[in-house]
Structure 1
């Protein structure tokens, strides 16, 4: 599908007892040296219109209220359509695998002294038991990587289902309802809408819903100097106009993943270093290599997965509600300054 999506139909055995579901995703460059947004997803089975039917030319994204959503097609529910549900968000590193040979002419001299070797791939694992109901029996599971090169990336996904060994451990039934997904899987726009307005969607909660919570996955993008990728921006989630969660998605541990980024850009930065000389500790000015992959970012690093935020919706009642995502200080796209926010959220509850 469009050269950036792999989609596969899977069959899952029937389980009587409680089951734990783990997802393991493995990524390696096939020649693409850049960091790219990635998403493992499942097509909602109750959505007559989905990415597959759209790719096959059998359907289109539903018409939208352009005053409310501008040109952001397919990001919230519409006629016969539910947003795609993420199983894992990730970001590819710079060239892991293809450029990991220690004799590679591009990367061999970019490896810091504290890294023994470049890794051959990057792998992440998450518990996705809360989305088991989406995978039961048969489901379409896909991988999206926003690659624009001919070579692209190699990707594999493994789902592990572990059933309880306790005979009386009856399965806890859960349900999932997608609320929003701004990942531009196919024929969609870069989502910079948050620079101009919040996005609100409606949902209906059934009477039997218990332990209701919202899961929220977000990454900020805009790789230029001062772009939303590199500047902290507060996110605000609201239900029925009442704030339920406010936080600033940010990661400052990106240097920890240097071994997965052989093709990252490297600069030299001068600083005064303290070191052990012949007569003990002394200081002098040194030039130290600093990699692009080391820089802190809006909830991601090159070579990491993204863990969903979980917000308990205590006291929420059955019936109709609204859910709103607001990023008040988000910046718009401006020429080649591609600011945008990849946001997805879903409700999960126990029956």
Structure 2
């Protein structure tokens, strides 16, 4: 028996040594990046320069962008990441595009450009040269990566009380009250390589009023409870971002004239490659790109990879978030129950329709805009990624057509 144990015990020890190793835990973490912060337009905010803070939120772009510096540890265990955004109007009654984004805290970034420490190419003659500075990488500069695109509804929160004197009769019969706020959540686990170390998280709303909006942003990192589940090896490479954040950027209408994009490197050892693609069309006038279905064509190495027409037809479902949306009447025939005759009758009525009900180019007032995620069959090395929209419209006087497109490649490594 002793001799048997003499042989068995070393084998047991060997099996234990060869088994899975426990992965160190740092626990789940939550970051309240912004908490009901006021985002608004006021040229006086940055008249004495940008007041950068290492600990608190601060403004750039005359209050329309707020940044906050975070230091996030590297998770060794598999971890899920969720972003939550809450928004209410602080008096601005319009629908506006919004963007939560990240950028490295060190090196050249949007803040460097805003502080005039780094000049993007063609900044002084962008319109004359048909250039759109900052939408792709150039030199040390990398375009920001969007964590979430959202669209503010018309006046939610500030104008949500039913007895508001200015908008008392716009509520349709099919809702029982205005929403108090808009809330959006998205899983952004695939972007976790960008969310470690020192970074800036920013939020932008395209408001031009001093009333503006109140905004909250939270990042939740949920670490796996499985002590033997190591974090997957992930990678992310930004492609482009045409959101108009800061001068000299402007609304991009170039997709109609040419393929817009750049060359992106897929790292060696990439096991999977995907593209994340966020697109919204704008131009609020009648017949503008906001209201016209427009084909988006994504090309890889000059070959069509994917084409589709981004279009939302469910905007009426967001009606409760839009108390200040414009409303008009439309005549139409409807069938209804005539209780006296105990059968359906047909009658012409005037029915209210709201601006927020109308279908739009991949967004609704009060919606977020999740990325379109598509797997790709490309290998390591450099690849050309471009986007075109041959039927999109150019900017003209009083017709501000443009598209906000952001894209990145991501995947897992061997």
SS at match of 1:257: helix
Match in the other structure for 2:348: 285
Query: Does 2:257 correspond to 1:201?
Result: no
Deviation at 1:209, TM superposition (A): 1.4
Deviation at 1:106, TM superposition (A): 2.2
Match in the other structure for 1:16: 76
Deviation at 1:7, TM superposition (A): 0.5
CA contact (8 A) 2:274 2:411 kept: yes
- Counterpart CA distance in 2 for 1:274 and 1:231 is 31
What CA deviation, in whole Å up to 9, does each residue of 1:78-134 have, x standing for no partner?
A: 011110100000110001011111111222210011111111110000000011111
Cα 1:185–1:49 change in 2 (3 A) is same
Mean CA deviation greater in 130-139 or 89-98: 130-139
Aligned partner of 1:211 among 272, 277, 285: 272
Aligned partner of 1:343 among 398, 402, 405: 405
Match in the other structure for 1:81: 141
CA contact (8 A) 2:316 2:356 kept: yes
1:127-146 paired onto structure 2 within 5 Å: 127-146=187-206
- Counterpart CA distance in 2 for 1:327 and 1:78 is 23
Match in the other structure for 2:12: none
What is the root-mean-square deviation in Å for CA atoms of aligned residues?
Answer: 1.7
Cα 1:142–1:66 change in 2 (3 A) is closer
Cα 1:68–1:83 change in 2 (3 A) is farther
Query: Does 2:159 correspond to 1:90?
Result: no
Mean CA deviation greater in 253-262 or 62-71: 62-71
Match in the other structure for 1:60: 119
SS at match of 2:209: coil
- Counterpart CA distance in 2 for 1:108 and 1:115 is 14
Mean CA deviation greater in 188-197 or 93-102: 188-197
- Counterpart CA distance in 2 for 1:150 and 1:112 is 29
SS at match of 1:259: helix
- Counterpart CA distance in 2 for 1:193 and 1:68 is 13
Match in the other structure for 1:254: 315
- Counterpart CA distance in 2 for 1:130 and 1:69 is 36
Match in the other structure for 1:311: 374
- Counterpart CA distance in 2 for 1:69 and 1:211 is 38
- Counterpart CA distance in 2 for 1:299 and 1:269 is 25
Q: Which runs of 5+ in 2 are unaligned?
A: 1-59
- Counterpart CA distance in 1 for 2:129 and 2:289 is 20
CA contact (8 A) 1:199 1:325 kept: yes
- Counterpart CA distance in 1 for 2:92 and 2:85 is 18
CA contact (8 A) 1:26 1:155 kept: yes
- Counterpart CA distance in 2 for 1:71 and 1:246 is 25
Is the radius of gyration larger for structure 1 or structure 2? Answer: 2
CA contact (8 A) 1:44 1:82 kept: no
CA contact (8 A) 1:261 1:303 kept: yes
Deviation at 1:42, TM superposition (A): 0.2
- Counterpart CA distance in 1 for 2:95 and 2:295 is 24
Cα 1:140–1:69 change in 2 (3 A) is farther
- Counterpart CA distance in 1 for 2:92 and 2:233 is 42
- Counterpart CA distance in 1 for 2:290 and 2:100 is 21
Query: Does 2:383 correspond to 1:321?
Result: yes
What CA deviation, in whole Å up to 9, does each residue of 1:138-166 have, x standing for no partner?
A: 21001000000111111110101000011
- Counterpart CA distance in 1 for 2:142 and 2:280 is 21
Query: Does 2:377 correspond to 1:302?
Result: no
Aligned partner of 1:175 among 218, 223, 235: 235
Cα 1:224–1:66 change in 2 (3 A) is closer
Q: Which aligned runs of 4 or more in structure 1 are off by greater than 4 angstroms?
A: 63-69
- Counterpart CA distance in 2 for 1:43 and 1:200 is 19
| Larger RCO: 1 or 2 (CA < 8 Å, sep 6+) | 1
Q: What TM-score, normalized to structure 2?
A: 0.82
Cα 1:217–1:294 change in 2 (3 A) is same
Match in the other structure for 2:396: 334
What CA deviation, in whole Å up to 9, does each residue of 1:49-99 have, x standing for no partner?
A: 211112222222245897998220000010111101000001100010111
